[in-house]
Amino acid sequence: MIQIYDTKQNKVLNVARIEKSDAEWEKLLTQKQYEITTKKGTEAPGTCTFDQIHELGIFRCVRCDTDLFLSATKFESGTGWPSFYEPVSPLNVVEQPDRSLGRVRTEVLCARCGSHLGHVFDDGPPPTGKRYCMNGFALRFMPEDKG
């Protein structure tokens, strides 16, 4: 069991970690989602339509539906990838060193299912100075319930 912050209930929940084989994930996801979330790929910049989303809502993990980022924390970074200055909770993401591409970066994973989401950098706006540069294919957007 791990702890995850649930935005709808506004509290921390104890939930089971989701573990599936690569073959299981491949059956559940589109090829692009699988390549990015399971094989640590990336999408071409500008291919995600999340830049056009300006309404309130939440970005969730495409694999396990864990709450990851509030739309209110999204900003235009000019990189071509959805960027946020903070996750909904540090409980919901895991940050770890990534030494691929011949340099050290900080990879961001979903804490519940281990999905590769993207990377975080120290060149974001206030109040955190962070830029969570995420792959749009690793996320799904849920508009705020107006009811």
CB 133 within 8 A of CB 42: no
CB-CB neighbours of 112 under 10 Å = 25
* Torsion sign (Cα): 10, 11, 14, 19: positive
| Burial letters 45-64, b for 16+ CB under 10 A, else e | eeebebeebeeebbbbbbbb
Q: Which residues are catalytic?
A: 133
